[in-house]
Every structure is written in C-alpha cells, then in structure tokens.
Structure 1
Amino acid sequence: MGTWDIGPFDNDTAADFGGDLDDAALEERESMIRGVLKRAADPADYLDISDGERAVAAAALVVAQHPDGEPACSNYGPSESLPELPADLRTLAVDALDQVVSELSELAEQWAEAANGSKWRQDITRLRDVLDPPIPPQEEALFDI
C-alpha cells in the first residue's frame, strides 16, 4: 500500500487524484469528484483499494465545503480551487464512505491489519459525521413518541 499517513490525501492514489483535479479545467472538477464517489458508493462487487482511496479524498473535498467541515489541507491534495460543489454530493459521499469501511472494501481490509487502523477508521467516521451527523440520544427519544 503506497500510504504514508492516515490523511485523505496521504497515499499515492489520492495524491494523484489531487493532481488530476489540478490538471482538469475548473468546470470538469465537480464531475470528476462525483464520478469517484459514484464508483465507490455503488461498487460492482468488491471496492478495490484505489477506488476507496480516491473516494476518501473526494469525500474530504466535499466535507471541506460543508459549513461544519474543515479544510482538506494537505500538501498532496489539489492546490487549484474547486467549484462550489452541489449539496447532493454530501449524500453520495456518505454512501461512498460507508462502502469504504464495509466488509467488501480492500482499503478497510488493509487498514484493519495496520497498527493505526483504528485511527484511520475514526477519521473516516469524523468525515462521515460532518455530512450525516448522528442524532443525539435526547433527540432520538423525541422520534420514538
């Protein structure tokens, strides 16, 4: 695995994706992010490692534009600006992240064997929670009435 840290762009595949976004015309970048997220959200069978790595990076870019999100800062992410990403990408990013950590994900399998795999999984959960926050327990009780 060409990974050097747990950040969304801290692997060869995601860093290359960041470079591809920089090389693309501004109007093509949203469709590139959407395509990566779609491929991961609905894998044909088993989500391969490179599709998972790109999906995490794309989701981090969606999170970066969310009002509660943090910048996707990395020396290896895109340095060129991105267009305003449509809100529907948030749901697609959640679906992609769910697949990334599923039993049918090569990336999750690789991280399960790594020493800092639990930290990686926490970071994926943190990204997901910005886009689809869990319902606090007291609010959950209101829905049970």
Structure 2
Amino acid sequence: MGTWDIGPFDNDSAADWCGDLHDTPAAERPAALRAALAVAADNDDYLDVDDAASAIAAAAIVAAHRGGTPITSVYAPDFLLEGGRVPIGDDLPGLALRALDRVTADGSEWRELWEEGGHYPDAVGVLDGLRVHLSAV
C-alpha cells in the first residue's frame, strides 16, 4: 500500500475506495459505507491493510457528517468535496467505532505496518480524533 501521510484518505487503498464510492449511485452509498465498515468490524481473522484503509476512510466520512473535521482531502470522494452528503443511518457511528477498534487491535496489518514504521502513535491519534465525533451523542 502506498501511503503518503497519516490522514484517513492518504493512501492508495483509501483513495481507490473513495473513487469507487464516488462512482456508486447516490442511493447505494450508505450501503457502501456500511459494507466497508462491516468488513473490518466483523473480521475475526487477520485484517488486511486494504480493508482497514477502506474502513478508516468510511469512518472519516461518518465522523465528518456528525460534526467532525470537514473533508478536504483531494483523495476523498469528489461528491463530498463538492458539498454532497451521504445519509448516515443511526447504526453507522457504532459500526464505525467497532471497525476502528478492529483496525487497531492485534492481527491487523494496518497496525503492524504503522508500528514497523515507527509512526503508530501518530496514526492512532488521527483515529482517536474520529472516535470523538463517532461517539458523540
């Protein structure tokens, strides 16, 4: 996975997933968010870095819709950069939190790669910022 920074959209896998989300019909985008989050949240085996990156990008979108940091990354879905939105169901914040928990747990390639690179605390700090908005009532 090519990674150029610690942001939720700053890697090849997340950017590719965001491109796919942009190309998804608007009515199907909530299901696409849910699917990306569920792949990580429901994973009991080794979590692949590509699945983790997609889940992080999806969690960032959910968090932004709940008052989090506005999405400004050029690697995010274009429709969001143009002011578009995705309907966020009541279940998505909790699912996003579960996905982030799985991404940072043992058996996660994402975690292993950031630990090996020596920047795990910084990368987790980004996720912690998302968690604040995902857990807000």
Q: Same fold (TM over 0.5)?
A: yes
Runs of 4+ in structure 1 displaced over 6 angstroms? none
Q: SS at the partner of 1:73?
A: coil
- Structure number with greater Rg is 1
Q: What is the CA distance between 1:36 and its match in structure 2?
A: 0.5
After superposition, the C-alpha distances for 1:32-69 in whole angstroms (9 at most, x for unaligned) are 110000010011411110000000000000001103x1
Measure, in 2, the Cα distance between the counterparts of 1:44 and 1:32: 21
Which whole-Å CA distance do the structure 1 matches of 2:126 and 2:90 have between them?
21
1:83 aligns to 2:82 (yes or no): no
Give yes or no for contact 1:29–1:82 (8 Å, CA) kept in 2. no
2: CA distance between counterparts of 1:9 and 1:82?
Answer: 17
Q: How does 1:41-120 map to 2 (within 5 A)?
A: 41-67=41-67, 69-80=68-79, 81-120=84-123
The runs of 5 or more residues in structure 2 that have no matched partner are none
Percent of matched pairs sharing the same residue: 45
TM-score w.r.t. structure 2 length?
Answer: 0.91
**Shift of the alpha carbon at 1:129?**
2.2
Distance 2:118 2:78 in 1: 30
Q: TM-score, normalised by structure 1?
A: 0.86
Secondary structure of the residue aligned to 2:78 is: coil
**2:24 is matched with which residue?**
24
Number of positions where the alignment pairs a residue of Structure 1 with one of Structure 2: 132
In 2: Cα distance, 1:12 partner to 1:83 partner: 22
